[in-house]
Structure 1
Amino acid sequence: MNTRQLRHFLAVMDLGSLSAAAERVHLSLPALSRSLSALEEALGVPLFDRQGRRLRPTPYANAYVERARRIVFDEKEGARSLSLMRAGELGSLSFGMGSSIARSLLALMMLKLVAESPGLRLSAMVQSSDVLFDALRKERLDFFIGDVRMAAHEPDMVAEPAYVSTFGWFARAGHPLAGRKRIGMSELSAHPMVMAGYADQSVIHRIAELYGLSMPLQNHFALNTDDVNTIHTLVTSSDAIAPSTDIAVISALGEGTMVALDVEPKLDLDMTLGIVRHAGRTLAPAAERAFAIVRAYFADAAQQVAQQRGLSAAKTPARRPRRARSVGS
């Protein structure tokens, strides 16, 4: 039994005539008759009493007709759903990103995807890159946006680098240390310091190494939280100071509510951010739309950071550049 035979059966039921049904389904009378006989054989019951070219439905046919309609309808809707899914209009997409990126990208990305594909169902996880990588490996995510080092030694993963994020120390505009040169740790520690609880261990160890701080590093910070929005609120509304990636504070710097501090030595770390996904896995077309949004976001971020650094350099005497050190090196 197949849905083609069911469509032939429904045509006869609807029209009550073998010849009319044959015309509708574009078959000869003998071919339609063979199709009906094959369906009866598959179901094991007679569907029609034949009276010349007219067919009288049996009680079996009347009992089965609505189920047959549902089967044919479900097949059509299934094909339509797959077609829409290929076009990115329907289906589901699960992805993750770090909280520093999510603050400015997550809502924007979800709104754009849903606006373009109202039938799409999205779910997002905001976590550190190591947690996101574990979720991706367990196939709970289609991809994540974060530290691409996670995929460096994984042959079944693909990483697309999109942005090299640098680190620094940041405070509110008008902070007592704003505009000061060569600020040392003793001056920083005179103010409450905020630490992101999701910070990578390589970042934690490098901060301790650079500034001569003992471990655990958290003991030197007055405040510790995983929530980036809380960190921003604390920094912009008090004399608190926080180490951060440039991408996490890009909006605050652009708005003028936060400034970079000239701390000595520099927090010479960088982290390459991008898209991490399974190698060889077929993704819904909506994933490609999401990737385009992510690429545009990072391109815009790079432009904003370059402009902010240009403005900062114009206000600050040139200094000999230090060699950058990568996170985890």
Structure 2
Amino acid sequence: MSRKPAASTGAARIGRRRTPPPEAAGGRLKLSHLRLIVAIADSGMVSAAAQAVGMSQPAASRMIVEIERLLKAPLCERLSRGVRLTPLGQALARHARSVLLVLAQAEREVADLRAGRRGVVSLGTVAGPAVDLVAPVMGRVRAAAPDLEVEIRIDSSNNLARELLASRLDFIIARVPDEFDAQAFESVVIGVEQAHLLVRRDHPLIGRRTLTLADVGAYEWVMQPRGTPLRRAVDVLFRSANIDPPRRFLTTTSIFLTMMLAASSNAIGPLAIGAARFASESMAPGRLAILKTDFSLVVQPYSLIAMRNRPLSPAAQAVYDIILSQALPGSGRKT
């Protein structure tokens, strides 16, 4: 009896699955890869990054090798203390932040839809609109969404812009600093900030009818860091009058520390008008006062700023729209 012919070897090859080489196995970036590279960018240390994402340092080191095999390029440069991302690693970290933000927004949006009008909105603001705009508008936000949690950070425009770029804030009320690409942001001018000079109630200049730049320039000032809009406004004000700016500075971005230093010394603290009035009339009545001057300290206009091509979550969009309508009645939605 003749035997049936064996199946052709060609057919056997077609049905057999090839085992990919190690660097091609599962050859796409994973969310765990993205979380690790962002953690390394934030901490500059593999050990700290590993702890942040909940894995051991050896596992994190192996994952870095895995990512480098996928991308066929190094991600990190070892330093005496910690690591530094290569240009490729920095690019990956930047895009990873955006991907993780979109995923976080998706999770928040689903949760909002399931639980009703709930969620968390993180916004940042410079001092002036914090008092004059954000604080008053929170009543409207609370009425529209009682269960919405709003996180508010008050800081300089430079620091707020960095936090917005890092996806740690949904939007900000500030100015776009010169060091950043304005095309990366979508901004709407909503106000102009002015500042008063805050001092202790028994300051040597209190009681003088009208003070000049020369009068106030002789004292120490508590100022924001060099390059910030308020600091630039002070420099421009003095130089336009052909007077040297104050030479003695204490530098801080903290409004509270500015008030404390002004209250406990002869230092002069420029603060946004709303913040200065609140400090002198409500926060520390009897301890702080506003100097009467023959000049005005005008800071450049501030804007409502979001990232271009990064959609806001429904909760963030709702707060954005309420603030925009409060600042510019009749304005439309962000597009």
> TM-score, normalization: structure 2?
0.49
Deviations along 1:147-203, whole A, 9 cap, x unmatched?
257799734422122221123433345544235244234532554432233743533
Task: Trace 1:222-237 onto structure 2 (pairs within 5 A).
Answer: 223-236=250-263
- Label 1:84 to 1:156 Cα distance change in 2 as closer, same or farther (>3 A): farther
For the 8 Å contact 1:195–1:224, the answer to whether it is kept is: yes
Shift of 1:145: 1.1
Shift of 1:277: 0.8
Match of 1:212 in 2: 243
C-alpha separation in 2, matches of 1:202 and 1:186: 18
C-alpha separation in 1, matches of 2:269 and 2:176: 24
- Label 1:150 to 1:276 Cα distance change in 2 as closer, same or farther (>3 A): farther
Cα RMSD over matched residues?
4.2
Aligned to 2:159, the other structure's residue is in SS state helix
Match of 1:274 in 2: 303
Letter in 1 for 2:308: A
C-alpha separation in 1, matches of 2:266 and 2:220: 7
Match of 2:275 in 1: 248
Aligned to 2:182, the other structure's residue is in SS state coil
Shift of 1:81: 2.9
Give the paired residue count: 216
- Label 1:183 to 1:99 Cα distance change in 2 as closer, same or farther (>3 A): closer
Match of 2:315 in 1: 286
Match of 2:175 in 1: 147
Match of 1:137 in 2: 165
Match of 2:99 in 1: none
Percent identity for Structure 1 against Structure 2: 22
- Label 1:289 to 1:249 Cα distance change in 2 as closer, same or farther (>3 A): farther
C-alpha separation in 2, matches of 1:101 and 1:111: 15
Letter in 2 for 1:165: E
- Label 1:297 to 1:236 Cα distance change in 2 as closer, same or farther (>3 A): farther
For the 8 Å contact 2:125–2:172, the answer to whether it is kept is: yes
Task: Trace 1:30-41 onto structure 2 (pairs within 5 A).
Answer: none
Which ranges of structure 2 fall in alignment gaps of 5 or more residues?
Answer: 1-106, 329-335
Aligned to 1:132, the other structure's residue is in SS state helix
Pair 1:260-2:273 in alignment: no
Task: Trace 1:1-329 onto structure 2 (pairs within 5 A).
Answer: 81-84=111-114, 89-99=117-127, 101-102=129-130, 117=145, 120-147=148-175, 154-173=182-201, 175-189=203-217, 191-197=219-225, 199-200=228-229, 202-203=232-233, 205-209=235-239, 210=241, 212-213=243-244, 219-221=247-249, 223-236=250-263, 238-252=265-279, 254-255=281-282, 257-263=288-294, 266-291=295-320, 294-295=323-324
Shift of 1:235: 2.6
Runs (4 or more) in structure 1 with deviation over 6 Å come to 77-80, 103-112, 149-153
Letter in 2 for 1:260: L
C-alpha separation in 2, matches of 1:173 and 1:84: 54
- Label 1:111 to 1:151 Cα distance change in 2 as closer, same or farther (>3 A): farther
For the 8 Å contact 2:123–2:151, the answer to whether it is kept is: yes
C-alpha separation in 1, matches of 2:108 and 2:310: 22
For the 8 Å contact 1:91–1:121, the answer to whether it is kept is: yes
Aligned to 1:269, the other structure's residue is in SS state strand
Aligned to 2:244, the other structure's residue is in SS state coil
Aligned to 2:305, the other structure's residue is in SS state strand
Aligned to 2:120, the other structure's residue is in SS state strand
> TM-score, normalization: structure 1?
0.50
C-alpha separation in 1, matches of 2:175 and 2:166: 18
